[in-house]
A and B are shown apart, each in its own frame.
Chain A
């Protein structure tokens, strides 16, 4: 043994190893549609994030002097019926829509993964209780609940954080079920038994062995959830139950098209948010599809 110890070289350099993640990244980079989508999503995010530096117009101040102007050099996308610059509101609206989407997705994925992993790993009574709780949450009609809450808290709480909290609390059920089912099949592998037998605690088995191996499913689910949450936010705002009307969001901007006059004669007010919304959701879905292909060892693309 002593000889062996002398010969072993502690300073071996990690060569460029293809970890499963590195393989997936390379596959994803080759997917043109996904890369274009990623580029588009990044552009939208950066523009929205930097909105205060790009435009100086006031988003909330009503300007009677310049109502419903057509697109021009001064107002790139024209102005809406209250005289606010549509381009400015589009950028700020992106901030709110993406913020709601990302926050809801993160909370939903975190909570859903936690519940699903615990239920799947421990099984038995823990599983039964957590899953019945999940069923209870899944049975709550999200839209009705949000609308009722909005009516109850009208003027008192309101605002973006409350919307995020309500959507997240009611939205994690599907993710929990999905993660549970993946964990149930993954934990049958012998490496989980071996992790237990080498003395790893349950928390370590879940975090280090189970979650990394179901992470691909979770990531794909996260992109789908992200797109869905932006739609939910826009839908609620369009109906007037989402973010407060004075806060710009893509859904709030779209709600202007409820007036037939705007819908027919002033397309510059509603087409920009509608198009941005469509392309954003499409790109998120393409990215999700790309990740799914990249993480699937059987796909050759």
Chain B
């Protein structure tokens, strides 16, 4: 609770984030899905869902991960939680390398990182009562705890996420999408984790409910000392939630910086196109809209050089041969483009 003051002045906290401890560090993470085919089901090629992604998240901050669908942001989130096995790279969580943890050691560590899932309808077991859904994680890690205590804890959690006591004995199908997402959040909170990866937690909800859930997530961050990795495709949602934002394209992070830099002076052409697509509430202010041509290339067969050069309005010849590295252009502002210097 000692960094509540920091969190209240979130912007200040963001600008001074370099001083804080790193909770999660991802180094050159790759997740490739094999494509099997042929008579003996050999591996023909790979879908490079996440390719060479590196970033770090400080304690107490929120890193937003944005990108269009299929860019690998969900895969990245799931790989970090070890729900998928990384192909290469390193995941450091709280100073410990969790990349190759398996079995009971991994299970013991899972307590500290939880996930809020995208689809509130598919992420709750339809055969379980809400009470059982939230009890399960506590029971997994504290099997000796008295059921009375666990129940008390579960009821507190339910109240904390804004659900009444009698939700305990109801089934998931008796709730609306927003309420279901609250149940999912309560389940993720039950183990008092340090990191929560929210995988598009509001994209399946009505706009009116979205803001309630987002505000709940913000409040909980203060109360429970949480660090968020917030995955979304809605720029305004990410802006509302995050301290820093990473932009993903085709399995790569093309730009990462604190949210003000991203919005005020986006450096990467892809980021510029994304920001220009955000609707402007003031009709008098005319913005230039950058419309990208073509489709996202297949991650099975990504373009050579810069992955974005096939659609980039500023592309030059060498873009197709040189793969740009993510480098620090300004303090705390990284971009992967050879034209930015």
Contacts and interface: CB of A to CB of B under 8 A. Distances in A.
B122 A8 contact: no
Interface in A163-206: 189-191, 193-201, 204
B119 to A, nearest CB: 6
A12 interface: yes
B115 A194 contact: yes
A160 B129 CA distance: 43
Most buried by B among A4, A10, A193, A209: A193
B156 A20 contact: no
Interface stretch (B183-191, B269-277, B311-319): B183-191
A212 B137 CA distance: 18
A10 B152 contact: yes
B49 to A, nearest CB: 16
B171 A19 contact: yes
Contacts of B99: none
B148 A194 contact: no
Given A20-B171, A199-B111, A199-B141, A194 B117 contact: yes
B140 A1 contact: no
A14 interface: yes
Interface residues of A, number: 31
A191 B122 contact: yes
Interface in B105-131: 107-108, 110-111, 113-115, 117-119, 122-129
B184 A194 contact: yes
A15 interface: yes
A12 B168 contact: yes
Given A4-B156, A197-B81, A198-B140, A189 B114 contact: no
A198 B190 contact: yes
B159 interface: yes
A17 to B, nearest CB: 5
B83 A10 contact: no
A10 B169 contact: no
Contact of B126 (A14, A20, A195): A20
Interface in B136-187: 136-137, 140-141, 148, 151-152, 155-156, 159-160, 165-166, 168-171, 173-174, 184, 187
Contacts of B327: none
Contact of B165 (A9, A198, A199): A9
Interface residues of B, number: 44
Contacts of B111: 199
Interface string A15-48: 1011110000000000000000000000000000
A14 B167 CA distance: 10
A200 B140 contact: yes
Contact of A4 (B136, B140, B160): B160
B187 A194 contact: yes
B233 interface: no
B10 interface: no
B191 A190 contact: no
A200 B156 contact: no
A300 interface: no
A-B pairs, top 5 by smallest CB distance, nearest first, are A198-B137, A190-B123, A212-B127, A14-B169, A199-B140
Contacts, number: 99
B136 A189 contact: no
A10 B124 CA distance: 24
Contacts of B333: none
A12 B165 CA distance: 7
B192 interface: no
Interface in B269-304: none
B83 A196 contact: yes
Contacts of B136: 195, 198, 200, 208
B152 A8 contact: yes
A4 B165 CA distance: 11
B78 interface: yes
B8 to A, nearest CB: 19
Contacts of A189: 122-123
A64 interface: no
A144 interface: no
Nearest to B110: A199
A15 B184 CA distance: 22
B222 to A, nearest CB: 13
Most buried by B among A8, A14, A194: A194
B114 A195 contact: no
Interface in A129-163: none
